Chain A
Amino acid sequence: MSCLNPLHQKIVPLALGELDPAEWQPLAEHLERCSSCSKELDLLADLVAIAAHPLPTPPPRIRSSTRHWVPRVAGVLIAVFVVLGLFDQYNDAKHGATLAPFADTSVPPFLITDVDGGDTPWGDEFESAMQSWDRGDFGDVEKSLGKFLDLHPDHAPARLYHGIAERKLGKLDAARADLRLVSTASQGPLREQALWNLANLELESNSPSDARKALDELVQLNGEYGERAKELEERLEVAK
C-alpha cells in the first residue's frame, strides 16, 4: 500500500531532479523510516537507469500452438547459424541484459582545445554547434552537428561528438556508424575516444564479441585507454 504521507508525492520530483532543495531534508528523513517510499524510490532509480539505455526490441512470442515444431526447427536453425558464421551473435545475445552494467555511460566534456577546432576555418561554427553539449541537451547537439556535418562530412571531432550524442539518444545503429568511421579514419585521442565509446555501445547492445574487438584495439594502441580497456576485458572474462 502506498504511503499516505504528503512527502510521498515528492519522490518522483526527487528522482527526476525537480525537487526544491528546501524539501530534501524532510524527505531524506522520511525515506529512512518509510519502506514503502524507499521501494518507490528504488523503482524510480531502475527506471531512470533504464532511461539512460535504449529500450530493446521485445522478444517475439512463441504461440503455444507452434511449440510442437519448435525443437525440430531449432536443429535446422542451429545448423544455419553455424554455416552463416552467426554463432558469435548468438553468443552475444545470450548474455542478455547482464552486460549493460559494464558499459561506461558517462559523457566526455567538450574541450575545444583538445580537438583543434579553434584552428580550423570552421572552428567557430563547430564550437557553436556544440553549445548545448555541457547542458546535456544531446537532441540539440545531434541536430546542430548533423547540419555541420552536412557541410563538413570529414570533420572527425564533429563526427565523434555526433556519434556520442546519438548513443546517448539511443540511436545505436547511427552512433555505431559514426564511431566506426572515426575509429578507422582518425588517429590519436580521437580514435581512442571513438573506440572506447564503440566498445561500451556494443556492451549496451549485448554484443560482447564486437566490444572485445574494439577493446583489443585499444589495448594494442596502449594509449590513454589501454589500461582501462584491459581491465574491462578482464571483468568481462570473469563475468563469462
Chain B
Amino acid sequence: MSIRWGSVRTRYEAIAINVAAGLVGSRVDAQQIFDEAFEQLMRESREGRVNFADIAAARNALLARVCEIARSPRQPSRPRSTTGNVLDLPFDPSDPEIERSSRRHGLLEAALSELEPETRRIFELRFREHQTRDAAARALGVPLAALQPREHALFEKLRHAAEGGVA
C-alpha cells in the first residue's frame, strides 16, 4: 500500500510530539525529533526500504522512530533558524483521509463543546495544558483515584461522537 505521508503527518504529528516531549522534556526539541523521524521514514518508504500495510502501521513505526531518536544520545538542540523546522511536505488535497480527518475533528469538537464544564476541564488540563494526572486531580480538587474513571467516561463519550453518535 502506498502511504499518504500528508495524512500521517496531519493525524499523528501532535501525538508524536507529545511522546517525544515526554522523553526529552522540551517541546521545541520534540518538534525537531518529530521532523527528523518523519523525514527518515518518509524517505525510507519512498526508496522502498520500508513498507507499511496501512496508516496504523506507519503510525506505529513513526512513534517507534520518535522514541528511538529521543532516547539516542543527542547533541544539544541547535535551532536551524527562527523560522522553525517545518518540513515542506507536498500536500495532497485529494487524499480522502484529509476529508475523513476533518469530519472526525468536527464531530469531536462539537462533542467537546457540549461537555459539562468539569468534564471539559479534564480535557483542557490533560490535553491542552499538558498537566499530569496528579496535577489535574489537584486542580480539579478530586482524589487521583477519581480522575481515571472520569477520563474513561470522557473518552467513551468522545469515541461515540467520533463514530458519528451524539456525545
List residues of B (141-165) whose CB comes within 8 Å of A's CBs.
151, 155, 158-159, 162
Judge whether B13 and A49 touch: CB under 8 Å: yes
Is A101 on the interface with B (CB-CB < 8 A)? yes
Judge whether A50 and B112 touch: CB under 8 Å: yes
List residues of B (36-82) whose CB comes within 8 Å of A's CBs.
56-57, 59-60, 63-64, 67, 71, 77, 79, 81-82
Judge whether B127 and A51 touch: CB under 8 Å: yes
Is A91 on the interface with B (CB-CB < 8 A)? no
Q: Specify which chain B residues have a CB less than 8 angstroms from the CB of A48 in the assembled complex.
A: 14-15, 18, 127
Judge whether B67 and A21 touch: CB under 8 Å: yes
**Interface of chain A: mostly helix, strand, loop or mixed:** helix
Q: Specify which chain B residues have a CB less than 8 angstroms from the CB of A101 in the assembled complex.
A: 6, 10, 91, 98, 101-102
Q: Name B113's contact: one of A15, A56, A111, A134 (CB within 8 Å).
A: A56
Judge whether B162 and A58 touch: CB under 8 Å: no
Q: A46-B11, A51-B14 are in contact. Are A58 and B20 (CB under 8 A)?
A: no
Q: A98-B99, A136-B21, A228-B88 are in contact. Are A42 and B56 (CB under 8 A)?
A: yes
Q: Specify which chain B residues have a CB less than 8 angstroms from the CB of A45 in the assembled complex.
A: 11-12, 14-15, 59
* Closest Cβ–Cβ distance, residue A158 to chain B (whole Å): 14
Is B3 on the interface with A (CB-CB < 8 A)? no
Give the CA-CA distance A16 to B136 in the complex, in Å: 13
Q: Specify which chain A residues have a CB less than 8 angstroms from the CB of B127 in the assembled complex.
A: 16, 47-48, 50-51
Q: Specify which chain B residues have a CB less than 8 angstroms from the CB of A231 in the assembled complex.
A: 88
The 10 closest A-B pairs by CB, nearest first: A17-B22, A136-B27, A109-B79, A51-B127, A239-B93, A17-B18, A58-B113, A106-B84, A45-B15, A49-B14
Of the listed residues A96, A100, A109, the one surrounded by the most CB atoms of chain B closer than 10 A to its CB is A109
List residues of A (139-173) whose CB comes within 8 Å of B's CBs.
139, 170
Give the CA-CA distance A239 to B95 in the complex, in Å: 10
Q: Name B21's contact: one of A17, A31, A104, A238 (CB within 8 Å).
A: A17
User: For chain B, which range describes its interface: under 10, 10 to 19, 20 to 34, or 35 or more residues?
Assistant: 35 or more
Give the CA-CA distance A104 to B67 in the complex, in Å: 23
A24-B64, A106-B85 known; 14 new pairs, CB 8 Å cut-off, are A15-B18, A16-B18, A18-B22, A18-B133, A19-B19, A45-B59, A47-B158, A48-B127, A50-B108, A100-B105, A101-B10, A134-B26, A134-B28, A224-B83
Is A213 on the interface with B (CB-CB < 8 A)? no
User: For chain A, which range describes its interface: under 10, 10 to 19, 20 to 34, or 35 or more residues?
Assistant: 35 or more
Give the CA-CA distance A118 to B70 in the complex, in Å: 31
- The interface bits of chain B over 16-37 (1 if a CB of A lies within 8 angstroms of the residue's CB, else 0) are 0011111101111111000000
Judge whether A98 and B102 touch: CB under 8 Å: yes
Q: Name A114's contact: one of B57, B64, B82, B110 (CB within 8 Å).
A: B82
Q: Name 26 A/B residue pairs within 8 A (Cβ), A-sorted.
A: A12-B151, A17-B20, A17-B22, A21-B23, A21-B71, A24-B67, A28-B60, A32-B60, A43-B155, A46-B108, A48-B127, A50-B105, A50-B109, A51-B128, A55-B112, A58-B113, A100-B105, A101-B10, A107-B28, A108-B81, A108-B84, A134-B28, A135-B25, A136-B26, A231-B88, A239-B93
* Closest Cβ–Cβ distance, residue B59 to chain A (whole Å): 7
Judge whether B14 and A28 touch: CB under 8 Å: no
Q: Specify which chain A residues have a CB less than 8 angstroms from the CB of B60 in the assembled complex.
A: 28, 31-32
* Closest Cβ–Cβ distance, residue A235 to chain B (whole Å): 5
Is A90 on the interface with B (CB-CB < 8 A)? no
Judge whether B113 and A55 touch: CB under 8 Å: yes
Is A81 on the interface with B (CB-CB < 8 A)? no
Is A207 on the interface with B (CB-CB < 8 A)? no
Judge whether B105 and A46 touch: CB under 8 Å: yes
Q: Specify which chain A residues have a CB less than 8 angstroms from the CB of B158 in the assembled complex.
A: 43, 47
Of the listed residues A14, A46, A135, A139, the one surrounded by the most CB atoms of chain B closer than 10 A to its CB is A46
